[in-house]
A and B are shown apart, each in its own frame.
Chain A
Amino acid sequence: MPKVLNERITGIKWLKNSICKMTVKSGYISKYAYPGQFVNVKCADDTGIILRRPISICNVDKDKNEFDIVFMLKGKGTRLLSRKKRGDFLDFIGPLGNGFTISARNKKVLIAGGGIGTFPLLFLLKELPHSENSCCIGFRSCDNAVLVDELSECSNDLILCTDDGSLGKKGFVTYDAEQVIKLQKPNIIYACGPHEMMKEISRLANLYGVKCQVSLEQRMGCGIGACLVCACKIRTTDKNGWKYSHVCKDGPVFLSDEVIFE
């Protein structure tokens, strides 16, 4: 059950110029959150920025009762959020959303992440039961590549690429993902990244007949399923053939074959 929480920030670390990792003390989140879920964060008090910002949970440390969020500075909200200091309190709602479904039956796993979409995959990798997993991650350039060592530590095989070739291989995650699918025949794919990448991963999953869970992104309002703004197209069996579900409450994780990518 999600709660409105006000918890202490225990660490702030800049991973890159515009990417910030914030560690927050929260027994509630570390106890109840699971991979793929998010928190909806109030960036600042008494400003013209009224909406909270949905940020995925990147990592949970159950021993320390802490969790991490990693966010990229995109606008006024995230800029204000990044000005918070260690020791300040963070007002957030969480844990929210339906995250990834993990099953011990899936012995071979492919994880595909692009850009800021890689952040929640660290939590997922850490929670995966013993399995053989390959991890394909991509960033625009080395300036945006973060958490590579952490992800690498948790995966059997990490393939890194950048759009411009400034780090790892030059190219897109989807190319490497297809090679892994062909060679290793994974039982399941977990993916999170930009729209075009999700669309291609879903196509590949369908083409090679692999189960796939995708974490989607859409502009959100409330984060709790009330405002209905974060609509995404989901296949139905009725005559209409589709309906709008909502990323915050029905997702953010969906089965790739139920999502209609446009």
Chain B
Amino acid sequence: MEGMNKYDISVKIASLKLKNPVIAASGTFGFGREYVDFIDLNRLGGISVKGLTLEPRQGNKPPRIAETPSGILNSVGLQNPGVHKFIKEEIPFLRNYKTALIVNVAGSTIDDYRKMAQILDAQDVDAIELNVSCPNVEKGCAAFGSTPSGVCEVTKAVKKYLAKPLIVKLTPNTLDITETAKAAEASGADAVSLINTLTGMAIDINTRRPVLANNYGGLSGPAVKPVALRMVHQASNAVDIPVIGMGGIMSGDDAVEFFLAGARAVMVGTANFVNPSACIDVITGINKYLERHNYKSIDDIIGKLHAT
């Protein structure tokens, strides 16, 4: 905990106040339970839970993972217990901890998203993250997120029913990230988070089959970091709402790159799979950077990139 109080690393994402800018990314942190053997969840800025759908989903056939250079491809396909079971079993557990609870929601239709927003706005959660970017499901989701009009349609539909802060999670699998970011902002998003995974593929040359049973999957990990940084930089220049950056963050130094590029908070994803205390290590690393460079607060580095 050394240095924890010396620097102000709290941030605000719309009305959501985070004690520090490090959030465990959706789909990599379960519902927090899986990590209590390894870390104190109270130390996290927030947790974005595994993507939820209205009804339970079994997910895709295995194999669901392939390792690729400096990254992984996954095709889990939103396996989750459904929003109702989440409310009953997971919210009470997560509320034992003093960390922001962000609920990631996904759907096949606009109506799914609208219903989920209605249900969750009445629950004891801190923010909604709209998943319009999962590449591993047949219907909906990334189909909405890949175009500005799709983002606009879903965001508007849920915003009507939400008093809680709305974060729209954007996909990199789109023509121009600034257009989808602007569409989210114009439709009422309080923040955007990016990037979700890049669609990819791995092939087993001995069996001549794709490694993933689903053929394609979402690429994450250090391999995507340069793409993520570029998109976070572009998006934060294009919109006034806060940008939450993610993509291959493994250390505090990686996170600092995202802050400099304009992110107000970061999400740590794939790193959790390798190092269960990755989020804590990232928080420590951010503090060390601030100390090393004599900065007083995280605001001293957010968007402070010297770019020409």
Contacts and interface: CB of A to CB of B under 8 A. Distances in A.
Nearest to B221: A50
Contact of A229 (B50, B64, B222): B64
A48 B69 contact: yes
Given A4-B275, A226-B35, A244-B58, 20 more contacts: A4-B38, A48-B70, A50-B67, A50-B70, A50-B71, A50-B221, A51-B65, A218-B63, A219-B64, A220-B65, A221-B273, A222-B273, A226-B29, A226-B272, A227-B27, A227-B76, A227-B273, A231-B60, A231-B61, A231-B62
B37 A1 contact: yes
Report, nearest first, the 5 A-B pairs whose CB atoms are least far apart. A229-B65, A222-B273, A229-B64, A226-B34, A48-B69
B67 A49 contact: yes
Contacts of B74: 221, 227, 229
Main secondary structure of the interface of B (DSSP, over half): loop
| Interface size bracket, B side | 35 or more
| Interface size bracket, A side | 20 to 34
A25 to B, nearest CB: 22
Nearest to A47: B70
Contacts of A221: 65, 72, 74, 273
Interface in B110-133: none
A218 B66 CA distance: 11
A151 B121 CA distance: 59
A243 B34 contact: no
Contacts of B272: 222, 226
Contact of A228 (B38, B71, B79): B79
B40 to A, nearest CB: 14
B276 interface: yes
20 contacts: A1-B37, A48-B70, A50-B71, A50-B221, A51-B273, A219-B64, A221-B72, A224-B37, A225-B34, A227-B74, A228-B50, A228-B59, A228-B79, A229-B64, A229-B74, A231-B64, A231-B79, A232-B62, A240-B58, A244-B62
